[in-house]
Amino acid sequence: MKILVVDDDPHILEALTVGLELQWPDSAVIPAGDGEAGLEAFYEHNPDVVVLDVAMPRKSGFEVVREIRRVSDVPVIMLTARGEETAQVRGLELGADDYLVKPFSHLVLLARIKAVLRRAELPAPVPTLPDFTAGDLAINFQTREVTRAGWPVKLTPVEYKLLYQLVRHAGRTLPHQALLDSVWGADYIATTDHLKVFISRLRAKLEPDGAPRLIETERGVGYRLVRPRG
């Protein structure tokens, strides 16, 4: 297990490196002291998970996660200062899977890493679930391929899990909590704000400008994927 930790505070970087290696002896922690070094380490080592500070010199955490998401679906946890709610939301919108507010314990970080890795395990293929099409959107559940107008749509593991649940129950409104439990897990403290951000990310990828809305919102209740006609 390779964990890339990117933070410009050398004390935090050393503490996270030592703490993770002590708590998870089988892991290899790759430290990087700024955003530019973090990207270089990412391309060199191909880590299994990235822990990424927001405020850094040379390249911010936002710039780093944006570039990572162009080429990889690796789980990313962003670190933010207390009270930076806009930073937390922006990180999720750019493709982060989770965030932690400083200060935090090594055990909490370890638990979050294990949680994002569990969520990165995509649902097993379901032979009884037919391929799904709606307009120019097509999903092959055996191969987990999603295409729009014949072009592949790159989804993160969490985005795919969310789409998977919506498609399985196409035509039905899934309550917020049911989606949170099925995608993030009942033991994880995710909120409707998390869900809103990931729904927005799915819509941006699946609903071209001017196209009919595929994912509908039932305000105060949940979300529904429109059942295809025919």
Q: What is the mean pLDDT of residues 2-9?
A: 94
Q: Do 35 and 74 belong together in one domain?
A: yes
- pLDDT, tens only, 155-197: 888 888 899 889 888 888 999 988 888 888 766 777 888 899 9
Is-contact 71 52, C-beta < 8 A?
no
Q: Do 68 and 136 belong together in one domain?
A: no
Output phi, psi for 89, to 5 deg: -65, -45
| pLDDT on residue 125 | 46
- Asked if residue 65 is part of any domain, the answer here is yes
Q: How far apart are the first and last CA of the chain?
A: 46
The two three-digit tokens of residue 211, written as one number = 């196209």
Is-contact 13 63, C-beta < 8 A?
no
Q: What kind and span of H or E run contains 215?
A: strand 215-218
Residue 49, SS3 per DSSP: strand
For the question of whether the overall pTM of this predicted structure is more than 0.85, the answer is no
| pLDDT on residue 128 | 46
Higher pLDDT, 125 or 16: 16
- pLDDT, tens only, 105-120: 888 888 888 888 887 7
Percent of the chain past pLDDT 70, that is, above it, reads 91
The two three-digit tokens of residue 197, written as one number = 């951000």
Give the closest residue to 52 by CA, choosing from 8, 22, 112, 83.
8
Q: Do 59 and 156 belong together in one domain?
A: no
Q: Do 61 and 113 belong together in one domain?
A: yes
| pLDDT on residue 77 | 94
Per the structure, how many domains does the chain have? 2
| pLDDT on residue 127 | 47
Q: Do 115 and 6 belong together in one domain?
A: yes
- Domain stops at, among 119, 149, 183: 119
| pLDDT on residue 211 | 64
Q: What is the mean pLDDT of residues 193-209?
A: 87
Q: Is the pLDDT of residue 16 over 70?
A: yes
Provide the 10 A C-beta neighbour count for residue 184: 24
Total count of residues recorded for the chain:
230
Q: Do 20 and 115 belong together in one domain?
A: yes
Q: Is the pLDDT of residue 26 over 70?
A: yes
Q: What is the mean pLDDT of residues 76-87?
A: 81
| CATH number of the domain bearing residue 163 | 1.10.10.10
Its domain, for residue 7, covers 2-119
The two three-digit tokens of residue 178, written as one number = 């049911």
Is-contact 112 129, C-beta < 8 A?
no
Is-contact 5 35, C-beta < 8 A?
no
Q: Which of 28-42, 136-150, 160-174 has the lowest mean pLDDT?
A: 136-150
